[in-house]
Amino acid sequence: MVALVAGLSLLCMQLVQAGNLPDFVELVKKSSDAVVNISTTQKIETGMPQLPEGFEMPEFPEDSPFGELFKYFFDHGEDGEPSYHDAKSLGSGFIISKDGYVMTNYHVVKDADEIIVRLSDRRELKGEVIGVDQRSDVALLKIEATGLPVARIGTSSELQVGEWVLAIGSPFGFDHSATAGIVSAKGRSLPSENYVPFIQTDVAINPGNSGGPLFNQEGEVVGVNSQIYSRTGGYMGLSFAIPVEVAMDVADQLKTAGRVRRGWLGVLIQDVTLNLAESFGMQHPHGALVAKVLPDSPAKKAGIKVGDIIVGFNHKEVQDSASLPPIVGSSKVGTQLPVKVMRNGREQTLKVTLGELPDDKSVAKGPGKPEVEQTNRIGFSAVDLSDEQKEALEVEDGILVTHVKKGPASQAGIRKDDIILSIDGKPVQSVEQFQKLVSDLPAEKSVAILVQREGSPTFLAVKIPAGD
């Protein structure tokens, strides 16, 4: 009898608890139409080996197995062009305007030659990249359609740790899959990105979910699912989403200006340990300790010094070194803002006129882009360096490599993010000037290109190909 009563009590408790769990049925019904599946195709050179110079393809009898074997490994076709295969990938996204603007992750569409956006009504439309931003992992696409269902945009600032959230996406290609969990933490800084205060959740996110929306219980998008922490490649209980405010700000800038501008202070910072806090006369460790002030930077001009501890920026508290970059990055370039520092145990407020972050990791394309990204005859794309980038990199001239194709450039060892300083002994001042220098070089000539990589200059030899 006692066991029966105990069992009934436990059942009643479970029912009460179940009754308190959120019901996402109506949310999914109302919100899933704005979620899309994104499939991409990238053409990749097979990289087949070449026959040694002077050797020709041998002739074999029709029934010989060696004929097909040789063709597989060495025959590149009659025109001598290499063969390619299609690499396909899947992701998710969501519609942010009735006229066809779609939000997703940068890594979903990176290097894609074709993008197909599949809607909830099974229509498949070609997606055009309006712009991408590598730092935030945000991409803005456009599809030719009108009257589309639009996701409701909320705010992540009101999220509470422990609050229920829901993700809708296409894990492993299974369209409109819904998974739920709670907010585990806010303002997470990941090693790969310092300018995004990620939302950490335990929502089940798997390959194919990237770029899809994270909803609150009101059906509002509060984040863009971006990354997982995993030792296996699959879900392990740690998922990270880009706050929707960050993503929408990036999308607006890509749409209107073709690129993303971020605030730049010009300091190298570190955390304040307990021992350091004591040595600086602080009651408890907090803030960002300035380890270096870059020359001619906004911080230098504002009077910020090595040893200062930044405890506030633009009326926002700075808890640690990880919290400062997102605050600075999201602030408007060119505005004068207050910076609260601890110096010699006393607080004081300085005024800084914010500069623009030399964002060599940001790639934007589309209408309104000030720098024109061009591909040259030796096989790489590049953009001009801004004055702030030149200052930060400590170079007078140069261009930034944004993409390297298969060809002379890749064979020579040129990489993405290299700074091209000179070619054939002539300084490189702009993309346009570099294009002219390359076009004037005779075919089959080997020339020296001086590149700067991670602060170190090195010469590379490039053979100029025939034709354009």
Residue 71's CATH number? 2.40.10.10
On whether residue 27 sits in a domain, the answer given is: no
Are 102 and 37 found together in one domain?
Answer: yes
CA atoms of 36 and 94, how far apart (whole Å): 6
Tokens 């806090």, residue located = 277
Q: What pLDDT, on the 0 to 100 scale, is given for residue 55?
A: 56
Q: How many domains does the chain have?
A: 4
On whether residue 151 sits in a domain, the answer given is: no
Q: What pLDDT, on the 0 to 100 scale, is given for residue 32?
A: 94
CA atoms of 95 and 142, how far apart (whole Å): 9
Q: What pLDDT, on the 0 to 100 scale, is given for residue 365?
A: 36
Q: What pLDDT, on the 0 to 100 scale, is given for residue 103?
A: 97
Under 8 Å CB-to-CB from 102, ≥6 apart: which residues? 36, 38, 93, 94, 95, 96, 117, 127, 140, 141, 142, 143
Tokens 């000539």, residue located = 445
On whether residue 110 sits in a domain, the answer given is: yes
Are 271 and 190 found together in one domain?
Answer: no
On whether residue 147 sits in a domain, the answer given is: no
Tokens for 246, please give them.
């960050």
Exposed, middle or buried: residue 93 (CB in 10 Å: 0-12, 13-18, 19+)? buried
Are 191 and 235 found together in one domain?
Answer: yes
The CATH number assigned to the domain holding 414 equals 2.30.42.10
> Which range of residues forms the domain containing residue 170?
164-257
Are 421 and 322 found together in one domain?
Answer: no
The number of residues in the chain equals 468
Are 39 and 111 found together in one domain?
Answer: yes
Are 250 and 279 found together in one domain?
Answer: no
Q: What pLDDT, on the 0 to 100 scale, is given for residue 368?
A: 34
Tokens 């300018």, residue located = 195
Residue positions annotated with a catalytic role: 107, 137, 210
Tokens for 60, please give them.
């074999």
Tokens 């990791």, residue located = 361
Q: What pLDDT, on the 0 to 100 scale, is given for residue 192?
A: 64
On whether residue 439 sits in a domain, the answer given is: yes
CA atoms of 31 and 258, how far apart (whole Å): 29
Q: What is the 8-class DSSP label of residue 84?
A: E
Are 73 and 168 found together in one domain?
Answer: no
Are 205 and 125 found together in one domain?
Answer: no
Please report, in tens digits, the pLDDT of each residue of the chain (468 residues total).
555 555 555 555 554 455 578 899 999 999 999 999 999 998 776 655 555 555 555 665 665 555 555 555 555 555 555 566 677 889 999 999 999 999 999 999 998 999 999 999 999 999 999 999 998 999 999 999 999 999 999 999 899 999 999 999 999 989 999 999 999 999 888 866 678 999 999 999 999 999 999 999 999 999 999 988 877 777 788 999 999 999 999 999 999 988 899 999 998 888 888 877 877 778 889 999 888 888 889 999 999 998 899 999 999 999 988 889 999 998 999 999 999 999 988 999 999 999 998 754 333 333 333 344 556 778 888 888 888 788 878 888 899 998 888 888 888 888 988 999 888 778 899 888 888 888 888 887 777 788 888 777 777 778 788 765
Composition of the chain by helix, strand, coil, percent to 5 = 20, 35, 45
Are 91 and 179 found together in one domain?
Answer: no
Q: What pLDDT, on the 0 to 100 scale, is given for residue 15?
A: 47
Tokens 């070089």, residue located = 441
Are 234 and 306 found together in one domain?
Answer: no
Are 36 and 138 found together in one domain?
Answer: yes
On whether residue 361 sits in a domain, the answer given is: no
CB of 257 closer than 8 Å to CB of 368: yes
Are 252 and 278 found together in one domain?
Answer: no
Chain-centroid distance of CA 114 in Å reads 19
Tokens for 285, please give them.
């460790």
On whether residue 210 sits in a domain, the answer given is: yes
User: String of b and e for 419-458 (b: at least 16 CB within 10 Å)?
Assistant: bbbbbbeeebbbbeebbebbeebeeeeebebbbbeeeeee
pTM of the full structure: 0.66
Under 8 Å CB-to-CB from 454, ≥6 apart: which residues? none
Tokens for 188, please give them.
């997470």
On whether residue 177 sits in a domain, the answer given is: yes
